[in-house]
Amino acid sequence: MSTILERFEQLHPASQRLHQRAARLFPDGVTHDIRYFTPFPLYMERAQGARKWDVDGNEITDYVMAHGALLLGHNHSQVQEAVAEQLRRGTHYGASHELEIQWAERVQQLIPSAETVRFTSSGTEATMMAIRLARAFTGRKTLVRFDLHFHGWNDNVVGAPDREGVHPHALGIPDETLANVVVIPQNDPDTLRRTLREEEVAAVILEPTGASWGTVLLDPTMLPLLREATREAGALLIFDEVVTGFRVSPGGAQEASGVTPDLTTLAKILAGGLPGGAVAGRREVMSLIEFRVGDRRDFGGRIPHPGTFNANPLSAAAGGAALGIVATGEPHRHADALSRALVRRLNELFRREGVPGCAYGQASMFHLVLGADCPPPIDDFTWDWQGQPGYHLPRMSGEAIWSLRRGMLNEGVDLMGTGGMVSSAHTEEDIGRTVEAFSRTVRQMKDEGVL
Ligand SMILES: Cc1ncc(COP(=O)(O)O)c(C=O)c1O
């Protein structure tokens, strides 16, 4: 019988050929860090609902869902029609248009902190703008962020200074930039309070459900504490809701928690599967983008914000249509229930197979750890953060992660790292098929001595 790796190569010869071409063109042969895959990534040809098909004709149940952008699944008919209609009218007017207003009205309706909105082309641009707004508004330099929280790839949010002040995680970031960034553990109120006391903090930015889309859940009492402590210290609170916005609830983690930040960064579901991001927040902070002096050339007294594809008509059409459906709350009810069912059934499976590990989740996002100890989730769903000292992740070995990912692809399931995003297009049958795929993969991993 073939190994997981041999079967992966047998099932995907056309992907392997495409990767040989790609390797001559792109660093690592890929166009996004998360798409890096060994021995080669799969190349997709089309997608519909909860499925996608690769160039070898394999049908795949998708839990990557456009890196979290597709809460409604691939090609939702209303989103597709809105984009097709706009395509006929034009892709870019180089001018204002009504769809951008409808889109922003939806954001304002759904996101509690969104007094005003500014669209960007990506989540990375949104976090860059939010940090700049906070520094400009407070007149302070220091950004506080939490260890392992992901905010895109602009200079302020990658790398972390170590004790010697040298950042160990990313090349090309000036030490001077990192000198203005403090990285602290996420579930540590004392360190947070001390940092806010000792530093002149412009803003605290975080993923409001915890590091890496809730892989390590945030202690829920941290959000009200953060609200109170930042207000007392005169610092702004930024929720990075690029993933959680419109997913944890129609109004994101801020609606679900009842804690309203000063600024919110959005992307992914915001733009209905097309490129787009936004900063939303308090009017007095956002107004720093305005031409208050009345002289277009005066860039000194404001924050400049051009961007060729800001609020482009196609993204506005897709985003407006998607958020209209999000506002009903129906996609959440469906996807959250399936995510909960999947996690419960995976925990049953791991117990039955006698493998160490667990699955856990929040809303329609799920995560898993296999081959390493993991505290049992509360209600077979919620990660027991109290069982985890500090902020350490229960870690899977690199070998186990690759073996799991390849094995699941052999079985027709694409995970996002060691977890996934459930959409409103997934069905109970998809969940059943996914559990069977896990069952076969886990057994093979055991046979190969990986688990
Ligand atoms: C929480 C968070 N913030 C920011 C970003 C960056 O967004 P983008 O990939 O649109 O630049 C991401 C991307 O995954 C994210 O997960």
Are β-strands 263-267 and 142-146 bridged in parallel, bridged antiparallel, or unpaired?
Answer: unpaired
Cβ of residue 152 lying under 6 Å from some atom of ligand 1: yes
Residue 363 near residue 247 (C-beta atoms within 8 A): yes
Length of the chain: 451
- For the four alpha carbons of 109, 115, 117 and 122, in that order, the dihedral sign comes to negative
CA of 74 to the centre of ligand 1 (A): 19
Residue 209 near residue 367 (C-beta atoms within 8 A): no
> CA-CA distances (angstroms) from residue 388 to 216, 224, 384, 391, 393?
9, 21, 7, 7, 8
Query: What pLDDT digit, counting tens, does each position of 430-450 carry?
Result: 999 999 999 999 999 999 999
Average pLDDT over residues 332-336: 98
In ligand 1, the atom with minimum distance to the C-alpha of 149 is 1
CA of 125 to the centre of ligand 1 (A): 9
User: Which amino acid makes up residue 183?
Assistant: V
Q: Which of 6, 35, 31, 13 is nearest to 417 (CA)?
A: 35
- Tally Cβ neighbours within 10 Å of residue 177: 16
Give dist(CA 151, CA 205) in Å, integer.
Answer: 9
Residue 391 binned pLDDT confidence (cut-offs 50, 70, 90): very low
Query: What pLDDT digit, counting tens, does each position of 28-41 carry?
Result: 999 999 999 999 99
User: So what's the pLDDT on residue 23?
Assistant: 97
Structure tokens at 132: 């700049």
In ligand 1, the atom with minimum distance to the C-alpha of 241 is 1
Least-confidence region, from 69-78, 297-306, 384-393: 384-393
User: Which amino acid makes up residue 158?
Assistant: V
Structure tokens at 242: 């690029």
- Tally Cβ neighbours within 10 Å of residue 356: 13
Query: What pLDDT digit, counting tens, does each position of 214-255 carry?
Result: 988 898 899 999 999 999 999 999 999 999 999 999 999 999
Residue nearest to atom 8 of ligand 1 (CA): 123
Domains of the chain: 4-74+330-447 (3.90.1150.10), 77-326 (3.40.640.10)
Beta bridge partners of 362: 365
User: So what's the pLDDT on residue 176?
Assistant: 87
In ligand 1, the atom with minimum distance to the C-alpha of 152 is 6
- Helix residue ranges, H only, 26-122: 65-68, 77-89, 98-110
Structure tokens at 273: 């599967």
Residue nearest to atom 13 of ligand 1 (CA): 152
CA of 315 to the centre of ligand 1 (A): 17
61 exposed, middle or buried (CB, 10 Å; 0-12, 13-18, 19+)?
buried
Give dist(CA 266, CA 262) in Å, integer.
Answer: 13
| CA 71 to mean position of chain CA atoms | 12
